[in-house]
């Protein structure tokens, strides 16, 4: 079948999201330099990286639709990555306490047969409650979200940390804007479900 679907990601979260609309797809881990360019905004960075992730699979996946996605979390306008460990997660959540932080997600769909690329930016806003050190500690011990940007899992018990969430698609916050991806796939005549 032409135009089979491929996810350019090693994220188990993105894979789970994509399984909601497509039971059959391949995955690969794109090996790209994710360093920001000089004077590149967070928004520009995630779109560029999503496109690069999709493009890197074109040789190995001809006649495919390749999905690339990238996300960053910004606190006070500064990009923060995945904490990686408990101490960094405590710092991130303490810094986010009482604030609204932004998640920027780049999404790209590359048709390796035609060379056509669609890409876009989706945003999600997370407002945190005032977080006590004891709540932060209990949450991190419970969920251990050390591989998640912002140090939380909104789809899990991280919900206790929030005052409100704003965005068009809760999947965007997890890393793959599924509503917008459905539109891009329909534009390529890919059958959903």
Query: Catalytic positions, please?
Result: 70
Neighbours of 3 (CB within 10 A): 16
DSSP secondary structure of 39-106:
T--HHHHHHHHHHHHHHHTTTTSTTEEEEEEEEEEEETTEEE----SHHHHHHHHHHHTT-EEEEEEE
Are β-strands 64-75 and 4-8 bridged in parallel, bridged antiparallel, or unpaired? parallel
Angle value at C-alpha 167, between 161 and 170, nearest 5 degrees: 70
């Amino acid at each position: 079948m032409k135009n089979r679907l491929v996810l350019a990601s090693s994220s188990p979260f993105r894979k789970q999201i994509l399984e909601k609309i497509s039971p059959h797809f391949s995955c690969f881990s794109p090996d790209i330099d994710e360093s920001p360019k000089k004077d590149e905004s967070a928004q520009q960075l995630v779109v560029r990286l999503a496109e690069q992730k999709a493009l890197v699979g074109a040789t190995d996946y001809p006649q495919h639709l390749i999905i690339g996605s990238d996300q960053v979390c910004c606190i006070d306008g500064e990009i923060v990555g995945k904490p990686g460990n408990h101490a960094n997660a405590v710092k991130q959540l303490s810094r986010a306490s009482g604030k609204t932080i932004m998640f920027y997600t780049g999404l790209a769909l590359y048709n390796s047969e035609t060379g056509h690329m669609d890409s876009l930016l989706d945003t999600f806003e997370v407002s945190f409650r005032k977080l006590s050190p004891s709540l932060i500690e209990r949450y991190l011990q419970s969920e251990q979200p050390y591989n998640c940007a912002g140090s939380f899992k909104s789809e899990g018990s991280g919900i206790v940390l929030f005052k409100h969430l704003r965005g068009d698609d809760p999947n965007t916050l997890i890393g793959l804007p599924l509503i917008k991806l459905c539109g891009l796939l329909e534009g390529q005549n890919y059958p959903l479900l």
